Amino acid sequence: MAGHYSPFNLVDIYRWIMGTKLTPINSSPDSSKKEKKIIFHPFSSNTKKSWGHSKWSELLYNFLKTFSDYDVILVGSPSEQSMAKKILEHQILNNYSSKILNLVGKSTIKQLFQEIKNAQLFVGHDSMCGHIASYVGTRSITISLGTVRPQETTPYGSGNINIVPKTACFPCFPTDKCDNYLCHKDISINKTIKVIADCLQGHEIIDDSDPIINTSRIFTTKIKEDFGQLCLPMTEVNTVNDLFKSYYMILWSYLLNEKEVNLKIPNLLKIDLDAVSFYQEGIEHLFELVSFAVTFSGQILKEAENKMPNVEKIQSYANKLVEVDQLANLLKGPYPELTPLINYFEVAKANVEGESILEVAQNTFVTNHSYKNSIQILFELMEKTMSSYNISKAESAASHS
């Protein structure tokens, strides 16, 4: 799942690996039983993933000015004390020092659990504290920056919020060099305060920002029975990447977990339709290549079933399978959204089991068939999407005629 294509939360991935059942945590308890406090954790493991101290000072100021009846608790580790000091020493917070309790580096894990459990809301970057909030039933708002992948790491539970930048390079890799931190600028103080206010006041979270000038998006979590956590945008799908995440969610759920996930057909009105059509061509190219792989692996199987297999023939067909894989890998350049599918089956074929040539040949043949069927499923999903767009477009034209 190279890059930002994974649609699954890491909790679900590890849960499936270990074979455990879904045990959802209630992340929306009765707020009347909680204190009028909000937990802030303005830190992360590296600078790519966190705002600077001045922006956090501004956020705290705006929050305390808007919610004068609330207190703020800052939490963090001893290594984050210097950053906390910079945040709190900003002059705009001079009149609010009595409303802020600084527990950074001063609390035990047990105390941290209790403080978060008693609070109305948790706000912070991707960190352990956000996951503690979900575990103890406190709703969380995560500000995702840098290398954070919201679908994979948003605190587990229903109703948690993730504010995500639209920056083209987000999310990046830890090894990527970045001097400008554009994604840090894409999430505004005003939007964050509005989301906090909606959560505290029990309002529905709606991403009603202008889609043209808006530089960030809001995601919310939902626990789907027998599946796990979905982290979905609160507006219609409007990028090709979103579209493929939906496809992979359906495809991987069926392949890996034998679960059927029913999702709404995405609204294509804001998607670059030329790009969608371009990807259909890429899927057709991949299907053609894998069809050859099925043929060649079938020939290997046929030869391996003979009493005296011809090793030279088997090696010849095996070399052709290598060529097919190499050509498939070349498609990842012009069609990057196909990378997860190509990578998955490259690994699957490299790890086929068998104690004899015949068993390996059988398992390789089955894997290539699964590859071909997966491509067909992906193509059919895309056809349905395009068909749905054409229908809605025709209906819209008819209503205006």
Say what the pLDDT of residue 178 is.
87
Which of 49-58, 224-233, 264-273, 293-302 shows the lowest per-residue confidence on average (mean pLDDT)? Answer: 264-273
Q: What is the token pair recorded at 12? A: 């679900």
Contacting residues for 13 by C-beta, under 8 A, at least 6 apart: none
What pLDDT, in 10s, does the model give residues 271-288? Answer: 567 778 888 999 999 999
Kindly state the percentage of the chain with pLDDT values over 70: 89
Quick check: 139 and 221 in contact, CB under 8 A? Answer: no
Over 70: is that where the pLDDT of 267 sits? Answer: no
Question: Which residue(s) pair with 223 in the sheet?
Answer: 229
Over 60: is that where the pLDDT of 269 sits? Answer: no
Say what the pLDDT of residue 236 is.
58
Distance (Å, whole) CA 222 – CA 138: 15
What pLDDT, in 10s, does the model give residues 130-151? Answer: 999 999 989 999 999 999 999 8
In which band, very low, low, confident or very high, does the pLDDT at 212 lie, cut at 50, 70 and 90?
low
Q: Mean pLDDT in the chain?
A: 86
In which band, very low, low, confident or very high, does the pLDDT at 235 lie, cut at 50, 70 and 90?
low
Over 50: is that where the pLDDT of 220 sits? Answer: yes
> Higher model confidence: residue 47 or residue 27?
47
Over 70: is that where the pLDDT of 106 sits? Answer: yes
Q: DSSP code of 22?
A: P
Q: DSSP code of 20?
A: P
The secondary structure of 91-148 as a DSSP string is GGGGGGGGGEEE-TTTS-HHHHHHHHHHSSEEEESSSHHHHHHHHTT--EEEE--TT-
Q: DSSP code of 9?
A: -
Distance (Å, whole) CA 54 – CA 57: 5
Say what the pLDDT of residue 390 is.
65
Task: Tell me yes or no: is domain 10-235 CATH 3.40.50.2000.
Answer: yes
Domain ranges of the chain: 10-235, 273-388
Over 50: is that where the pLDDT of 112 sits? Answer: yes
Quick check: 58 and 189 in contact, CB under 8 A? Answer: yes
**Peptide linkage before 171 cis (omega within 30 of 0):** yes
| Mean pLDDT within 200-206 | 86
